């Protein structure tokens, strides 16, 4: 008996495909539900919070770094070449403490003038005068005078902004100037320095002399702490600046050109002689330490006597000229022989102490005070022999209104002929607003020769 043999069940597919070799890293993507708007918003929120946290952290670090740098800068000078710090009082001490003498390069300098600056403006009429050793001072006649001569003369005086001149009849001059001596420019001398371009005259053929106005200085759009003063606006006193060291207001100052500031010599004593520490903040009514101008030259009068505060004047040169505007504008330097009467009205401005033992004012202050005659101020009951020819006094003998600490170097100004003139620089006094102890100011008129010479030698 035979038994039929059934074929075994085959597991081989009818249409075999090539075997798939598993490859590492390749996986089937899991099936997930699509993200909802809520999930996306949550993710964006996390990213924003992370970014915000990073920004805040960087801000904190930057602020901390700034204050740490300010603290270090207030105590030490960094020598870049030798990569080391030295105490700040060793900078500008006359000894090289850094490699290559870095610490003695950017320092306050001293300059003593022993020559006569050959060009000046005389009297309230701003009559142009020139000087030569043989002939002395002579008023310049209007004969042959041109606009080019005006530009040349103003450039010599340190001004180049809107120079202009007028003719003043000789018979209207003060008695001491009516009879000369006179001089006049020679033909074809428009670019020659004015004092070298003239020839002496007994009389002016034109019957008039040259009056010079070299800029729009001392003009404001409209029209005290200073102890007993009132609030002021920088637009009315646009020459007022704050001299700051390490971000701290130290002294006041006055713009006398687009690049030069007049202040007091005593502002640069002790460890305040290193230039890179200083900034000049202009155009601000409220005290601020941001946006100040860098300084590349500070020159102290070489005759300055700290023991007597005599010749207490200095000049600062800004690294670049300021932009003129309603809140930034130079004050006029006074002419020689300004002849201000005792009791003439003055204005002193600044951010100084509000009282003798007080603090610096956050906003600019002004005070109207009268000039005090030299005889009265140097009398035994006031300051006696402490007052020199380079000083003037202003204020009230009964006290109450006065400049104070922090006002040093700032302006004492007088308004005449539609302009404000820098008559004095805040210098010293006994206390603030004390009876029979008025403020003492450096007399700018006596320092004109020094100011003009320094500006000419440091163009």
Tens digits of residue pLDDT in 57-68: 888 887 777 656
Q: Which of 249, 266, 414, 421 is catalytic?
A: 266
Tens digits of residue pLDDT in 112-135: 999 999 999 999 999 999 999 988
pLDDT at position 30 is 52
Whether 167 is catalytic: no
Task: Specify the fold of 119-213.
Answer: Mac-2 Binding Protein (3.10.250)
Whether 408 is catalytic: yes
Lowest mean pLDDT among 48-57, 90-99, 205-214: 90-99
What is the 3-state secondary structure of the chain? Answer: CCCCCCCCCCCCCCCCCCCCCCCCCCCCCCCCCCCCHHHHHHHHHHHHHHHHHHHHHHHHHHHHHHHHHHHHHHHEEEECCCCEEEEHHHCCCCCCCCHHHHHHCCECEEECCCCCCCEEEECCCCEEEEEECCCEEEEEECCCCCHHHHHHHHHHCCCCCCCEEEEEEHHHCCHHHHCCCEEEECCCCCCCCHHHCEEEECCCCCCEEEEEECCCCCCCCCCCCCECCEECCHHHCCCEEEEEECCEEEEEEEECCCCEEEECHHHHCCCCCEHHHEEEEECCCECCCCCCEEEEEEEEECCCECCCCECCCEEEEECCCCCCECCECCCECCCECCCCCCCCEEEEEECCECCCCCCECCECEEEEEEEECHHHHCCCCCCHHHCCCCEEEECCCCCCCECCCCCCCCEEEEEECCEEEEEEEEEECCCCCECCECEEEEEHHHHHHHHHHHHHHCC
Q: Which of 312, 327, 421, 427 is catalytic?
A: 312
Q: Which of 165, 408, 427, 442 is catalytic?
A: 408
pLDDT at position 60 is 85
pLDDT at position 248 is 87
pTM exceeding the 0.75 threshold for the entire prediction: yes
Whether 312 is catalytic: yes
């Amino acid at each position: 008996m035979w038994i039929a043999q059934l074929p075994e069940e085959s597991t081989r597919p009818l249409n075999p495909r090539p075997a798939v070799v598993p490859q590492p890293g390749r996986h089937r993507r899991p099936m997930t539900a699509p993200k909802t708007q809520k999930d996306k918003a949550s993710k964006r929120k996390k990213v924003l919070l992370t970014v915000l946290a990073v920004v805040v952290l960087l801000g904190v670090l930057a602020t901390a770094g700034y204050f740490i740098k300010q603290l270090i800068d207030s105590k030490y000078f960094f020598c870049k070449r030798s990569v080391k710090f030295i105490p700040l009082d060793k900078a500008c001490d006359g000894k090289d403490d850094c490699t290559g003498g870095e610490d003695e390069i950017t320092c306050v300098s001293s300059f003593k003038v022993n020559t006569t600056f050959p060009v000046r403006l005389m009297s309230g009429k701003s009559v142009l005068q020139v000087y030569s050793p043989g002939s002395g001072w002579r008023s310049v006649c209007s004969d042959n005078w041109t606009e080019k001569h005006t530009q040349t003369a103003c450039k010599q005086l340190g001004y180049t902004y809107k120079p202009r001149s007028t003719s003043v009849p000789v018979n209207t001059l003060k008695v001491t100037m009516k009879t000369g001596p006179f001089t006049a420019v020679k033909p074809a001398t428009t670019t020659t320095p004015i004092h070298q371009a003239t020839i002496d005259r007994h009389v002016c053929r034109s019957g008039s002399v040259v009056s010079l106005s070299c800029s729009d200085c001392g003009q404001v759009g409209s029209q005290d702490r200073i102890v007993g003063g009132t609030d002021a606006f920088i637009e009315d006193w646009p020459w007022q600046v704050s001299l700051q060291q390490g971000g701290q207001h130290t002294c006041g100052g006055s713009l006398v050109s687009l690049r030069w500031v007049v202040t007091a010599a005593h502002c640069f004593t002790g460890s305040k002689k290193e230039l890179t520490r200083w900034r000049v903040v202009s155009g601000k009514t409220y005290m601020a330490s941001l946006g100040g101008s860098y300084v590349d030259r500070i020159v102290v009068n070489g005759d300055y006597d700290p023991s007597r505060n005599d010749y207490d004047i200095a000049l600062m040169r800004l690294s670049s000229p300021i932009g003129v505007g309603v809140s930034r504008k130079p004050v006029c330097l006074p002419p020689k022989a300004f002849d201000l009467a005792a009791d003439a009205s003055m204005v002193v401005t600044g951010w100084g102490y509000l009282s003798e033992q007080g603090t610096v004012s956050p906003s600019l202050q002004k005070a109207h005070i009268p000039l005090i005659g030299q005889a009265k101020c140097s009398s035994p009951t006031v300051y006696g022999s402490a007052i020199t020819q380079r000083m003037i006094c202003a204020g009230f003998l009964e006290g109450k209104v006065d400049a104070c600490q922090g006002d040093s170097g700032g302006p004492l100004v007088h308004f005449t002929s539609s302009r404000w003139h820098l008559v004095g620089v805040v210098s010293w006094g006994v206390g603030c607003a004390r009876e029979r102890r008025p403020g003492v100011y450096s007399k700018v008129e006596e320092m004109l020769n020094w100011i003009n010479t320094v500006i000419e030698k440091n163009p």
